[in-house]
Structure 1
């Protein structure tokens, strides 16, 4: 799928990629969701499917937090307070820890809620707000949302498909 360049394409990309990801998640045996044998987000680390879902929730929640702070005219620490862009592996570990006590089904529901909030955010914005003005450095809000939603959903789906093949899950 091409990189979205307007509000409608962004909504479609998130909706399409998330539905495909949900279909993959729906076939994962709950008892395997916490097994840490999936390649991690940081070099030489492993993670579980639960960690992967936590990562997607974490980034989605960050997008919502950034937007809220901007709307309140508060400063935003990109990507997150205490983390720099070259420390995304550490940030991934934080997301895993943030949601570690939550079971797979609840994580999936939380991800559903986060995606719904992001789609609602997009719905409230005009195409101009999303794609015609810089929002963070050279990036538009629409692009920042896409970087942290539809693209990672596609990446996660690929990781899950590979993992399922290794576990003989159809």
Structure 2
């Protein structure tokens, strides 16, 4: 995804696209990913390190309020540059991989290892915040580019 973005000229990387969605440029999409990494870090720390039940998706929000959460995330990053958010995302991606590397082979994939994951697995949460979210972001960026040719 980052390679794809880097292959775009700087004008496109910083372009504000015409869309009704809150993600109006590449920075917005990357900021969304970065903040969802932060949500994963919090859930991991509370649920896997402290062995408590984390508030999901985030304190003050329910799963039915993802639109409001994502809008609030968008608002938080409006004064952050694309360069800065790329650096933050790169660092948080690296930190996420460090967490994954610390896990045993069984921990991410077995239900019941961490009480807070309920009927799911830790791998499910990690995939939702990493690979599946990256796929969403890449498709989102490509769609914005195609819709605004």
* Fold similarity call, TM over 0.5: yes
Which aligned pairs between 1:68-107 and structure 2 lie closer than 5 A?
A: 68-70=45-47, 71-107=49-85
Return 5+ residue gaps in structure 1 as ranges: 1-20
Q: Which runs of 5+ in 2 are unaligned?
A: none
1:151–1:39 CA distance, 2 compared to 1 (3 A)? farther
Q: Is the 8 A contact 1:130 1:142 kept in 2?
A: yes
Change (3 A) 1:109 1:72: same
Distance 1:166 1:48, change over 3 A: same
1:57-82 Cα deviation digits (max 9, x unpaired): 11111111111112123331111001
Tell me the distance in 2 between the aligned counterparts of 1:38 and 1:52: 13
Q: What residue number does 2:124 align with?
A: 143
Name the structure, 1 or 2, with higher relative contact order (CA <8 Å, separation 6+).
1
The aligned runs of 1:100-139 (5 Å cut-off) are 100-134=78-112, 135=114, 136-139=117-120
Tell me if the contact between 2:23 and 2:74 (Cα under 8 Å) persists in the aligned partners.
no
Shift in Å, 1:29: 4.5
Give the whole-Å Cα distance in 1 for the aligned partners of 2:53 and 2:70. Answer: 22
- Structure 1 residues 59 and 166 mapped into 2: Cα distance closer, same or farther (>3 Å)? same
Aligned partners of 2:20 and 2:37: how far apart in 1? 21
In structure 2, C-alpha distance between the alignment counterparts of 1:110 and 1:38, rounded to whole Å: 25
Aligned to 2:142: 161
Q: Is the 8 A contact 1:30 1:104 kept in 2?
A: no
Q: How does 1:14-33 map to 2 (within 5 A)?
A: 21-32=1-12, 33=14
Between the aligned partners of 2:127 and 2:66, the Cα distance in structure 1 is 17
Q: Counterpart in 2 of 1:67?
A: 44
User: CA–CA distance in 1 between the matches of 2:20 and 2:25?
Assistant: 8
Paired residues, number: 144
